[in-house]
Amino acid sequence: MLRLYDHPFSPYAQKVKISLREKGQEFEIPLPEGIGAGGARGEFVEANPRAEVPALIDGDVKIFDSTIILEYIEDKWPTPPMLPKSPAERARVRMLEEVMDTHYEAINWGLGEIRSFKRATGDLAKKIEARAAEQTQGYFRWLEKQLGDRTWFNGDYFGWGDLAVIPYLNGSRGHGHHVPEGTKLAAWMQRANERPSVAATTKDITDMLSSGAPGMGDVAEMVEKGLFKREYRDHRLEWMIKVGGMEVILKGLERDNIRFGPEFG
Ligand SMILES: N[C@@H](CCC(=O)N[C@@H](CS)C(=O)NCC(=O)O)C(=O)O
């Protein structure tokens, strides 16, 4: 059976699970040992030397990066298609995915660093949270325009454009940032969350929490104990600097509870 190294909170892993579920592919979802602590090893790291979820194992084939995994799934199981048909429409939804995976994701991730991992408190936390709220509203307005009069971000049928957006908007909702009521985006969000593939992917989160695994409420203490060493990479790192959190990064480096991507070889 397909094996997808997963963490239910990861929007990147959620994208892949939604696609596999739309295509009726069965898969198991092991949680990599040592994820988040900088100590991952074994088959997971062999599949993804960056030690990030998701990583897909299909027999001898090992693939990392959610976009590359989605491409593989599409090539191997083309039905039902997740990408639109025309080259221009495919490019459109890929651009949407790129924005969500980079600029948008950084906001939710950063809020997690502040609120759950307690990287900043007091005025600094307030300032960063206010920036995140403003930015999120900006993206809601941008997404409303991107959706236009379409039923789905993907076009006529649910697909890549939708699975690339819904994990992030659900993440924002979890942070108390709600899509304005009465908008086309809000109606789309409800439709998307009613898809069985999306509902099952959201259920993975509640299942994990009800299994007694540590929730986001417990992680600040784990950071303090040195059990967490979070990866500050790419847009996430840029975001933290941009919103005024340089001291968060410096403190994390000093305390050795943040890390950058691993070296290869
Ligand atoms: N570009 C990658 C990003 C994957 C990623 O950053 N995953 C995070 C979880 S959301 C991760 O596993 N981080 C490793 C860690 O925190 O230790 C993708 O699209 O798959």
Q: What is the DSSP string of 24-52?
A: T--EE-PPPTTTTTT---THHHHH-TT--
Residue 99 lies in a domain: no
Residue 166 lies in a domain: no
The tally of domains found in the chain comes to 1
Mean pLDDT in residue range 124-142: 98
DSSP one-letter code for 152? B
Average pLDDT, the chain: 94
Q: What does the block give as tokens for 231?
A: 């990866």
**Closest residue to atom 17 of ligand 1, CA basis:** 36
Does residue 147 have a pLDDT over 70?
A: yes
Distance 15 CA to ligand 1 centre (A): 12
Q: CA-based angle 77:204:125, to the nearest 5? A: 115
Residue-level pLDDT at 214: 63
Per-residue pLDDT of 156-168, as tens digits, reads 999 999 999 999 9
Residue 18 lies in a domain: yes
Output the pTM of the full model.
0.96
Residue-level pLDDT at 218: 67
Residue 25 lies in a domain: yes
**Ligand 1 pocket, Cβ-based, cut-off 6 angstroms:** 7, 10, 12, 35-36, 51-54, 65-67, 101, 230-231
Residue 15 lies in a domain: yes
**CATH code (residue 35):** 3.40.30.10
Residue 156 lies in a domain: no
Point out the ligand 1 atom lying closest to the alpha carbon of residue 7. Answer: 9
Instruction: Provide the percentage of residues in the chain whose pLDDT is more than 70.
Output: 98
The residue segments making up the domain with residue 33 are 2-76
Distance 156 CA to ligand 1 centre (A): 30
**Closest residue to atom 16 of ligand 1, CA basis:** 36
Q: 103: closest CA among 7, 17, 11, 185?
A: 11
Distance 53 CA to ligand 1 centre (A): 5
Residue 92 lies in a domain: no
Residue 244 lies in a domain: no
Most ligand 1 atoms within 8 A of CB, residue of 5, 6, 12 to mutate: 12
Distance 32 CA to ligand 1 centre (A): 12
